[in-house]
Structure formats: structure tokens, C-alpha cells
Amino acid sequence: MSLSDPVRPGHRPAPSLVVRSRPADDVSEALMDHLPDGTGLAWVRRGEGHVGWGAAAKLEVAGSNRFAEAQAWWKDLVAGAVVRDEVGVPGSGLVCFGSFGFTDADPSELVVPEVIVGRRGGTAWVTTISPASALPPPPELTRYEPEPVGQVAFADGSRSGTDWSGIVADAVRRITAGELDKVVLARDLIALAPEPIDLRWPLRQLAAAYPNCWTFSVDGLIGATPELLVRREKGLITSRVLAGTIRRTGDDAHDLALAASLARSSKDLEEHEFAVRSVADALEPHCKSMNVPETPFVLHLPNVMHLASDVAGVAANGASALGLAAALHPSAAVCGTPTDVARDLIGEIEGMSRGRFSGPVGWMDAAGDGEWCIALRCGQADPADPTRMRLFAGAGIVAGSDPEAELAETNAKLVPMRDALGD
Ligand SMILES: C=C(O[C@@H]1C=C(C(=O)O)C=C[C@H]1O)C(=O)O
């Protein structure tokens, strides 16, 4: 095991853990069926991934050093753990789930569950993790049936749609005046349910409707994101960059024509190029060789289509998946170009706190391999009122952006969560 990420002196001590992963033959095809309640952790794509519950260890952290602190904590935790992994696939053994705030002020966390149930390439397993020296036996796997959410109402979040369009118009003026090239502006929408929301219900809907996205759940933040910030697996680094979006109509022939127009749209290609550059520049110091596609492809999702580029590289150093995510965040896909100017403008005009929306969300193993996506197409359960969730969506603004079209784009991006809640 080698992690060459920085260790900060004086960081929080991590507990000693005992970990055991064993093959299991009673794992459901739908991993999320095993979550005993709505507070569980999840990372699922195309039926593979892992879900977990309980907290054998947890780090809550904020500030500009949050990534370094989290890496130092994880490095300590890994060093002190006794791991018996009888499965040996990505996701087995000692694994943490995590979710990071968009800004330095927003809270971030890493969680190591007590139980993990996973499936990968035909292998299913159960991992038990305990802070004590005596490891409990693996639990009997139960399948649960969550209750539907009921009739959900939606209300404006921090801004009405009209006010948000005005903010976009302001950003276009500032871009045209030469202050910056691109800024990503987001808005929120409040979902109000008649009863406390069992997060397993929307999670299950998301995983079924968006199998090509990563369906995630970390501490009340749930969603199905199409954007892979970074994956590190056995020395290979990959990232899927998305920027440039068009809504789908539901008519396949028309959608194909729209996809062709997206691939030719100079406004979207420019917006996309900013995002690809920011990822390639951040990964370059960590890669021996890199493949950055010259032209994007069109990614078809049920609600929208995106310009997409898969960037790949061979790891040049021991930077962990989280270290790479830290180097990439915030990419131009969720912040803008130049980064500092865009970040300041977001703070000045967006008018809300993003929390963990548009921050890295994912998982990592003891070797530092893992996957971190960008927390998009998601909602945050209200910790003070379990009948409420805040849903988020944003759009990249460049000189050629039309505020009404950007508002419509955010509405299309809110569809996955609205539908999952049963709208
Ligand atoms: C900000 C969001 O999406 C990002 C912005 C995109 C765009 O502006 O075209 C596309 C994909 C994401 O990188 C979101 O989904 O909320």
C-alpha cells in the first residue's frame, strides 16, 4: 500500500479497524434493496457497485484544507487497519464513501460503514468493519421494500426562476465585458412531501431510470450523476467531462437531429472546451501519458443530451483518487473559467449555498483507487425536516447564453430528482 498524498501534522486520530470481505451468494440484483433504512450509503451503476450502512469511522471536515485532511485521516486509518479481503475486486476490502462541499465553507465527510454489500463483474460480497478487535459475523441479508413518497409539492428555493434568469443575464453581461469566459450558475428547488421521505424510494427510482449514471447516497445527499470527475484503478486514470447540454423531446428522430445540432453548436463546443481543458491541465502533472479527445461525443440520457469527452491517462505518481479529485475540483464544468474569477462571481451573484451539490462524491479503497463523481442531478434531505429536500441544478454560462434557455436547461436537469420523488 502506498499513498503519497500529503499528511498534515496534527490531524485527527483515526480508530483501528478490523475488516473482512467474504463472497456472498444471497446478494440481491438490486443492491439498494439491502439498505435497512434511508440513511444508508450507496454507489451503484448498471447494477454494480456497493451499498453500506452504519459508521465504523467518520470524518467531518471543512475549510481549504479539507481534501488534505481527509487524505491524511484515510492514510492513518488504512495504516492502522487489519484487512482480510477474500474477494479482491475494486470495492472489496476497506472502503470509505465520501462527499465534499463545493466551497471551503461547505461541510465535507468521509464515512466507513460497518457493513458493505457489493457486486462487481459477477462477484458479490459482504464486508464487515468494526472498530473493536472482535469482528462480528456477517449479517443476514434482508430485502426491504421502501414506501413511496406520496404527492410531492415543489416550491421556489433561494430564487424564483425569473430572478435566476436575471442573474444569468447579469453573468452574460460580465462575460461580454471581458471579466471572465464562463461561469456555472445553479439554483435550487424545494420538494415538500406529505410524510418523511424514505430516501431508499427515490434512490431505487434513480438507479432504475438512469442505469448509466452513478446513483449515490451519502449522508442525506442523493442523486444520479452522469459526470465522473476521476476514477483511479490499477494505475489507470479516467475522467468523463460533460458540458454543453440540450433537452430531449421524447421523439427519437427529433432527438437525433438535436444531437447533431449540439455537436455543431459553437456556443456548446466552446463551453465544453473550457471544461476539458480544466480537467486535462489538472491531471497532466499526475499522468505519464494522456489521451484527450479532440472532439466530444454526444451522451444520451433519458432527460438531456450532453457533449462528453473521456480523458484517460497512465498514473505517473501515487496520487490517490481523492488527491486527483482535489486537484480537479472545481472543474470548469461546475465553476467556470478562469476558476478564481468564476468562483468569486458565483459567491457574489448565485444567492445560495450549494452545500455538497457540485462537489466530489464517491468512494475510495485502501490502495487509494476509487471513483469520485461530481454531485449533480441530486437533492439534499433537510436534516431538520425529513419531509423536505433541496433539489439542485446548474448550467454553464458563456457569452452566447440565453437566460431563458439556461432556465429551461436547469428544469430539464431537475427532472431525474422530481421524477424519482414521484412528481
Ligand atoms: C451544473 C450541472 O451540470 C453541469 C453543466 C453542464 C452544462 O452546462 O451543459 C453539463 C453537465 C455538467 O457538467 C448540473 O447538472 O446541475
Instruction: Give the bridge partners for 126, in sequence order.
Output: 22, 117
Here the cell at position 304 is 438531456
DSSP letter (8 states) at residue 384: T
Instruction: Give the bridge partners for 50, in sequence order.
Output: 43, 118
Model pTM? 0.95
pLDDT at 12: 60
pLDDT at 15: 76
Pocket test for ligand 1, best of 182, 225, 242, 392 (most atoms within 8 A of CB): 242
For 344, counting Cβ atoms within 10 Å of its Cβ (0-12 exposed, 13-18 middle, 19+ buried), the class is middle
Measured in Å, residue 49 CA sits from the centre of ligand 1 at 24
Instruction: Give the bridge partners for 60, in sequence order.
Output: 109
Burial call 62-72: b when 16+ CB within 10 Å, e when fewer: beeebbbbbbb
Measured in Å, residue 410 CA sits from the centre of ligand 1 at 8
Measured in Å, residue 317 CA sits from the centre of ligand 1 at 30
Catalytic residue among 182, 273, 371, 413: 182
Instruction: Report how far residue 101's alpha carbon sits from residue 107's, in angstroms, rounded to the nearest whole number.
Output: 5
Q: Relative to the CA of 396, which ligand 1 atom is closest?
A: 8
Given a contact cutoff of 8 angstroms between Cβ atoms, the answer to whether 282 and 275 are in contact is no
Ligand 1 lined by 207 (C-beta under 6 Å):
no
Catalytic residue among 48, 109, 114, 227: 227
Instruction: Report how far residue 52's alpha carbon sits from residue 365's, in angstroms, rounded to the nearest whole number.
Output: 14
Measured in Å, residue 331 CA sits from the centre of ligand 1 at 11
pLDDT at 42: 98
Q: Relative to the CA of 275, which ligand 1 atom is closest?
A: 13
CA torsion sign for 347, 350, 353, 354 is: negative
Q: Relative to the CA of 410, which ligand 1 atom is closest?
A: 16
- Residue 368: HSE in the Cβ half-sphere, 13 Å Cα cutoff: 26
Instruction: Report how far residue 79's alpha carbon sits from residue 122's, in angstroms, rounded to the nearest whole number.
Output: 30
Domain ranges of the chain: 18-142+151-420
How far from 266 is each of 63, 213, 271, 397, CA to CA, in Å? 37, 26, 8, 13
Q: Relative to the CA of 331, which ligand 1 atom is closest?
A: 13
pLDDT at 131: 83
- Identify which of 214, 14, 213, 15 has the alpha carbon closest to the alpha carbon of residue 99: 214
Q: How does pLDDT run along the chain (423 residues), one tens digit per residue?
A: 334 444 444 456 667 999 999 999 999 999 999 999 999 999 999 999 999 999 999 999 999 999 999 999 999 999 999 999 999 999 999 999 999 999 999 999 999 999 999 999 999 999 999 987 767 788 889 999 999 999 999 999 999 999 999 999 999 999 999 999 999 999 999 999 999 999 999 999 999 999 999 999 999 999 999 999 999 999 999 999 999 999 999 899 999 999 999 999 999 999 999 999 999 999 999 999 999 999 999 999 999 999 999 999 999 999 999 999 999 999 999 999 999 999 999 999 999 999 999 999 999 999 999 999 999 999 999 999 999 999 999 999 999 999 999 999 999 999 999 999 985
- Whether 267 is catalytic is no
Measured in Å, residue 171 CA sits from the centre of ligand 1 at 16
Here the cell at position 50 is 456497493
pLDDT at 423: 56
Ligand 1 lined by 184 (C-beta under 6 Å):
yes
What does R_g of the chain's alpha carbons equal in angstroms? Answer: 21
Q: Does domain 18-142+151-420 have CATH number 3.60.120.10?
A: yes
pLDDT at 7: 43
Ligand 1 lined by 393 (C-beta under 6 Å):
yes
Ligand 1 lined by 272 (C-beta under 6 Å):
no
Ligand 1 lined by 189 (C-beta under 6 Å):
no
pLDDT at 13: 65
Q: Relative to the CA of 241, which ligand 1 atom is closest?
A: 13
pLDDT at 279: 96
pLDDT at 71: 97
- Residue closest via CA to ligand 1's atom 10 equals 243
Given a contact cutoff of 8 angstroms between Cβ atoms, the answer to whether 235 and 394 are in contact is no
Measured in Å, residue 333 CA sits from the centre of ligand 1 at 6
- Whether 406 is catalytic is no
Measured in Å, residue 140 CA sits from the centre of ligand 1 at 41
DSSP assignment string, 143-202? ---PPP--S-EEEE-SS-HHHHHHHHHHHHHHHHTTS-SEEEEEEEEEEE-SS---THHH
